[in-house]
Structure 1
Amino acid sequence: MNVTIYHNPLCGTSRKTLEIIHENGFEPNVIEYLKTPPSRDQLKNLYERAGISPRDGLRAKEPIAAELGLTRPDVSDDEILDAMIEHPNLIERPLVVTDNGVRLCRPQDLVRDIL
């Protein structure tokens, strides 16, 4: 099975998710999304496949989210996606893609659903 993780090695949840993937016998394709961010279309597709909205995938705790007004309830999904592409640190992590689906793995144990 193919496994891809959009990973931030500085994030404990992302590291734990990667560890669970390895413990289950998989060698994933690791994409450090801060260095190699997905395109806008890729990100939109990942969220659609995961069954979440861009707002659900927004790392709202990042100070820049508030600075850009992205935490307001009237901000559109398109505005959030555009900001994520410009500022990849706004993308919540880790996103994991397998043949069984896509999950935003917060908490990390959610990865088990798609392995």
Structure 2
Amino acid sequence: MSEHIDATIYHNPRCSTSRNTLQLLRDKGIEPTIVKYLENPPTRAELAKMISDAGLEVRQAIRAKETVFAELNLADATDDQLLDAMVANPILIERPLVVTDLGVRLARPLQNILEILPADDAK
């Protein structure tokens, strides 16, 4: 049995990568707190901290292919403008973000979250 670890997934049930990430966590014996971020978006400060803690640039954490990205003319936006847009339009937040006691990762690719989970051989 793996050691207990607190985990939170910023989840969109309509996203296959998000569903697969949730299943991977459960397969590892972790029942995460599920935040449906489209209904309960993080605050700007929470989002900025997660992005920073994941080692990402703000632009790496935004869904540039979403229609609203183009509608808001975000191609040349500053990090502050991108964060504001993501909080106002949570569909722009790249998913899923996973937060554990060991760090934060964007599960793209899915294997990224293995870096913030206890090792399988932990006893």
Q: Tell me by how many angstroms 1:112 deviates.
A: 1.2
Indicate the SS of the match to 1:59.
coil
Indicate the SS of the match to 1:31.
strand
1:95 maps to which residue?
97
Among 47, 64, 70, the alignment partner of 1:66 is: 70
> What is the CA–CA distance in structure 1 between the aligned matches of 2:115 and 2:55, rounded to whole Å?
14
Indicate the SS of the match to 1:45.
helix
Q: Which has the larger radius of gyration?
A: 2
Deviations 1:43-68 (A, max 9, x none): 00101101112111000110110111
1:108 aligns with 2:110: yes
| TM-score scaled by length of structure 1 | 0.95
2:120 maps to which residue?
none
> What is the CA–CA distance in structure 2 between the aligned matches of 1:91 and 1:114, rounded to whole Å?
20
Structure 2 residue runs of 5 or longer lacking an equivalent are: 118-123
1:56 aligns with 2:60: yes
The amino acid that maps onto 2:47 is: L
The amino acid that maps onto 2:17 is: T
> What is the CA–CA distance in structure 1 between the aligned matches of 2:17 and 2:51, rounded to whole Å?
19
Indicate the SS of the match to 1:5.
strand
| TM-score scaled by length of structure 2 | 0.89
Runs of 4+ in 1 over 2 A off after TM superposition: none
* Residues 21-36 of structure 1 aligned to structure 2 (within 5 Å): 21-36=25-40
Deviations 1:12-53 (A, max 9, x none): 000000000000000100000000000000000101101112
Aligned residues: 113
Root-mean-square deviation over aligned CA pairs: 0.7
Structure 1 residue runs of 5 or longer lacking an equivalent are: none
> What is the CA–CA distance in structure 1 between the aligned matches of 2:90 and 2:69, rounded to whole Å?
11
Among 82, 100, 109, the alignment partner of 1:80 is: 82
